Every structure is written in C-alpha cells, then in structure tokens.
Structure 1
Amino acid sequence: MARPIWSGTLTFGLLNVPVSLMSGERKVDLHFRMLDARDKSPIRFERVNAETGEEVPWKDIVKAFEYDKGNYVVVEQEDIKSAAPEGHESVEVETFVDASEIDVRYYEKPYILVPGKKAEKGYVLLRETLRDTGQVGIARVVIRTRQYLCAVMPQGDALVLMLLRYPQELVDPDDYKLPSGSTGDYRVSAREKDMARKLIQSMRADWNPDEYHDEFRERLQALITERIQAKGATARVDEPAHEREGDATNVVDFMALLQKSLGENKRTPAKKAAAKKVASGKVAKKATKKAAAKKAAKKTAAKKTARKAPQRKAG
C-alpha cells in the first residue's frame, strides 16, 4: 500500500476537508548501472576536490551559487531554512478559474487527494461542484520544503491535485522564430486545407490512453529478461552505505565484486586472492608449528644429555 506524502487539509473558504496527498504517477523507467568492463564491478562516483583530487567528506561540503564564471557565494543551511515556507500541511485554495483558461504547458505533475475518515461529504461536495461549474481551484501547497502552485480538479471519483509551473519557468514562444500570419502568406491553398481537414477527420478516434505503450521500454525489458533467462542466473551486487557527515572516515572503500558471473560458477579475482591468502596463511601457520616443535625437541634432548653426562670430581 502506497504511503501518503503528507496528511493535512484541503481548504476553500471556511470549509476544511482532511485529505492525504498520494502520488499520481508511477515510475517505469529502466535504470542502468555503469560497470567496469574488465570485471563487471559497479562504478562509484566520489566527491572529489577539483584542485587536489582528494575525496571530500560530507561535513566539509557547502552549497554555493555561481554568480559569475568561477565566482561563488556560499549559502548556509540556515539561509535556506529561513527562506523556506512554513511547513503548514494544507492545500489552500485561493481562487477558482475556468479550466479552459489554463495553458496545458503549466501542468507539471499529478497527485491524488484521498479523503480522510468521515471527510467524504466535503470531498464529494467540492468534487461535484467543480465538475458542474467547469472550474478548478488554484491553490498553494508545501511539499517537503518547497512551496508549489497547484490546481485542484475533478477526475472521475477523485480530486486530482496537479502541480503547476510558475510563469517564469516557461519559455515564451515568441523567443523563437515561428511562422506567423495567415495561410495565404505561405501559399497554402484552400484545396490543400480541405484535403488536410479530410485526412484528419479520417484518422479521428476517441482518446484511449490504454492503447499507447512505451514500445522502446517494452522491447528493452524483453531483451533484458531473455538475456537473464539465457544465462540462467542473475548477479547481485552488494554496495556499502554512502558515508555521511559524522560517519567514520577510515572505512575501507570496498565494492564487493560480482559473486557469480552470469550462468557460470567461477571465482572472481578477489576470491582467488582471498583463497591464496588463506592458503598461504595455513602454510605459514603449519611451518611455524613445525619449527616450534623441532626447537622444543632439541631443547628436551639437550636436557637429557646434560643429565646423563658424568660429573667431574674436584682435584
């Protein structure tokens, strides 16, 4: 069961509706790791000082804004906290606008508002009123430490909260050289327009999003699955936890090598080295025991010889 991002209230006027904010999207991208082609070990990216080449611990890293090439101003964590909005857990509807007035370029990311216990009445009231009037609520919401502009709109049985981009995040189309004017300015004939209209009409269909799939991802997923099955096994890579501020700085930077090659049961170079080390340790230990036993035997023999030797009488 998915967990809510936060639980709070949806407010408009004097009406407060307890809600939980749930993600409205599902990540389906295939994520790849970069490996060393020689032994298939994962590549790890380090925090390295550009001048010295030395790794920098988290406690020595600060955030800065590059206001000019090579010139920075450091922004302290306290500065960021002071600029962050208050963490009030509410979706505050400030106004209602006609849904058709919102440019599609403003829509960014969907969430689903789920009503709390015994909050269904207010939820349904807002949902159906928005549906009947064709309006959407424009609100502000704080998610984690950032304040977003958003639109609250009905979708089936749900109230969807859609994050909106701010105007300064959009590029004005007038920034580009685009063909303006009428079709006549570009010698588009009436017959061509009529043929284009008929073509569009012949290709018209009802919108059914289930008919569309990420074909590239599906083919790639099928290829990966086929390759895994052909090899008969998958390889597991154990990674050490990333060092954070306050962690010990003398932790060995070790990435476990692949325990098994796909479909093969071969020892990795690291395992061979470890086996040799253990074997050499056993040999050394055995040789030490043998030398000690030999030394003890010589000592015992010397004592026996001393006891058997006749003592000389004083003259």
Structure 2
Amino acid sequence: MARPIWSGTLTFGLLNIPVSLMAGERKTDISFRMLDSRNNRPIRYERVNSETGEEVAWKDIVKAFEYDKGSYVVLEPGDIKSAAPESHDAIEVEAFVDVDQIGPQYFEKPYVLVPAKKAEKGYVLLREALERTGKIGIARVVIRTREHLCAVMPQGDALMLMMMRYPQELVDVGEYRLPEGESRDYRITDKELAFSEQLIQTMAGEWAPDEYRDEFRERLQDVIGRRMKEHGVVSAADQEPEVHDHAATNVVDFMELLQQSIQKNQRTPAKKVPADAPAEKPKKAAKKAAKGAAKKAPAKKAATKGTAAKKAAGKAAKKTAARKKAA
C-alpha cells in the first residue's frame, strides 16, 4: 500500500479531521539514463566551479539568488527558514466558493485525502455538505517548506485535494496575439457554424477515461521488457497518522462545533492586545522559577560542604598513616 505524503488535520471552522494526503496521480513516463557505450557505465554529472573547472564539495556550496545577470546575493539557511510558514500539520480551509468560479488553469495536481481511524464521520460530513451546496473549499497546506494554495472538493466517496496555481504563476492570455471579436468578423457563415455544431453532436458521447491509453509508452514498455530481467519489489510498512486529542473523531459533538464556528464567523472580531501590554503568565513563571532556584541553592551548598568535609577527612587520615610509618 502507498505511504502518505503528508499527515495532519483538515480544518474548517472548529472541526479538525485527521487525514493523510495520498498521491492522486501515477507517473507513467519512461526515463532513461545515459551510459558510456564502451563499458555501459552511467555518466556522472559533477559539481564544478565555472571559473576554475574544479569539483566543488557539498559543504562548500551555498544558495544564492541571481538578481541580475552574473550578480548574486548569498542566502543563509536561516534566511530561507525565516520565510517558511509555521503551520505544517493542518490544511486550513479559508473560504468556500462555487466550483464554477474557478477556471481550469488554476488547478495543477490531484491528491486524495484519506481519513484516519475513527475520523470517518467528520470526513463524510464535509464531503456531503460540499456535494449538496456545490461548493469547494479553498485552503493552504505546507508540504516540506513550501506553502501551497489548494482546493478541497468531493469526488464520489473521496475528498480530493487539488493543488492550485497562484495568480502570479499564470500568464495573462492578453499577452498573446489571439483572434478577438465575433465569428462574422472572420467571414464565418451561419451554414459553416451549423455544420460544425452538427459534427460535434455526432461525435458527442460520455466521458470514458479507460478508453484512452498511452499507447507509445505501452509499446516502449514491451520493448524494454524483452531486454530486462525481473527484480523483486520491497514494500515499506504503512504508517498510521497520529490522532490528536482535539481531532474530530466519530464521537465528537459535531453540532456544537458547527454552531460555535457559525457564531465565531458572525461575531465582530475582538480587539487585538497591544504588543507592549504586560503579560501575567511570564511573571508567574519567573516567580516560580526563582522559588525553585532558591530551594535548590541550599541543597547544593550542603552537598558542596559535605564533599569538602570528606576530602579533608581523607587528607588527615593519609597524614596520620604517614607519621606512624615514619615513627
């Protein structure tokens, strides 16, 4: 069984549903390695200095941003970490929108959300609510160090998570030279348009994805199969995601959480506490730490005195034995 890419909680309102993020696509591309024809050994790519031609060790490599041609600013590891988001264990739904509002160019890569044990109720609740309302959830998820925009949408029995592109990643179609205007501006007759529509109707049918196959890959795979030997497959042990105490398992009062979420969104946001306002908890913690230190200090002193007394007694015993020997 496949291993989860990410494990955490799917959050909307006050409901937290423990889920695992599983791959929703399977790579079928056939990749090739370049070999030396003289002995069929792989060609290795080396990290070399563009000026000296010498190989560079990993420990001597730093990351830099090229802000101009040939001009770089070197970044420390801490610089990149400081820009990374803090939350890594939650898919936080920020809004629900109509699925028709989002163009296909925004969707990038599919994943499947799989509920943890005893979290099926919350999973089905969200799936059915999205199905009935015709909405999808717009959320953010952090995988490794990058924050991704994503959409949570129902698909049969599953909740799918679709990775999305940010608007800044899309090219404005207005940058290209495209035919604008109506069909009559291009001397398209009503008869031509009618025949085109008729052709489309004759070719119309139901979507049957199983009918479409990568035939080139299959033929190439047959060729490779005749030239290779079979190898064993090692499968890794499956991991169950950790379920938190606050997670929305099947025994949680969903009505109470849903009502609290609705009231929270309807209430006016509370005023933010100024950054320079005095905090009570740190003071209490400091007092507690001071008391603890005071209690430990006498014990430490006593222990030190006892050690010193033992050392003095040992020295006196050695001197007495030396005198007796001399006498």
TM-score, length basis structure 1: 0.71
For the pair 1:183 / 2:183, whether they are aligned, the reply is yes
Q: CA deviation at 1:224?
A: 1.6
The answer to whether the Cα contact below 8 Å between 1:148 and 1:164 also exists between their aligned partners in 2 is yes
Where does residue 118 of structure 1 map in the other structure? Answer: 118
Q: CA deviation at 1:67?
A: 1.0
Secondary structure of the structure 1 residue equivalent to 2:42: coil
What is the root-mean-square deviation of aligned Cα atoms in Å? 1.4
Where does residue 106 of structure 1 map in the other structure? Answer: 106
The answer to whether the Cα contact below 8 Å between 2:9 and 2:19 also exists between their aligned partners in 1 is yes
How many residues are aligned here?
231
Instruction: Compare relative contact order (CA 8 Å, sep 6+) and give the higher one, 1 or 2.
Output: 2
Structure 1, unpaired ranges of 5+ = 236-315
For the pair 1:172 / 2:172, whether they are aligned, the reply is yes
1-side partners of 2:41 and 2:195: how far apart?
59
1-side partners of 2:191 and 2:6: how far apart?
57
Secondary structure of the structure 1 residue equivalent to 2:111: strand
Secondary structure of the structure 2 residue equivalent to 1:149: strand
Amino acid corresponding to residue 118 of structure 2 in structure 1: K
2-side partners of 1:108 and 1:90: how far apart?
20
Identity %: 69
Secondary structure of the structure 1 residue equivalent to 2:147: strand
The answer to whether the Cα contact below 8 Å between 2:88 and 2:143 also exists between their aligned partners in 1 is no
1-side partners of 2:108 and 2:59: how far apart?
35
* 1:167-190 CA-partner distances (Å, limit 9, x unpaired): 000001101000000000000000
Q: CA deviation at 1:39?
A: 2.0
Where does residue 210 of structure 1 map in the other structure? Answer: 210
Secondary structure of the structure 1 residue equivalent to 2:41: coil
Where does residue 196 of structure 1 map in the other structure? Answer: 196
Amino acid corresponding to residue 203 of structure 2 in structure 1: M
TM-score, length basis structure 2: 0.69
Q: CA deviation at 1:6?
A: 2.1
Amino acid corresponding to residue 162 of structure 2 in structure 1: M
2-side partners of 1:79 and 1:4: how far apart?
29
2-side partners of 1:35 and 1:116: how far apart?
45
1:73-88 matches, within 5 Å, as: 73-88=73-88
Secondary structure of the structure 1 residue equivalent to 2:35: coil
2-side partners of 1:86 and 1:31: how far apart?
36
* 1:146-172 CA-partner distances (Å, limit 9, x unpaired): 101100000111000001000000001
Amino acid corresponding to residue 83 of structure 1 in structure 2: A
Where does residue 11 of structure 1 map in the other structure? Answer: 11
* 1:250-289 CA-partner distances (Å, limit 9, x unpaired): xxxxxxxxxxxxxxxxxxxxxxxxxxxxxxxxxxxxxxxx
Q: CA deviation at 1:234?
A: 8.3
The answer to whether the Cα contact below 8 Å between 1:98 and 1:135 also exists between their aligned partners in 2 is yes
Amino acid corresponding to residue 59 of structure 1 in structure 2: K
1-side partners of 2:165 and 2:27: how far apart?
20
Structure 2, unpaired ranges of 5+ = 232-327
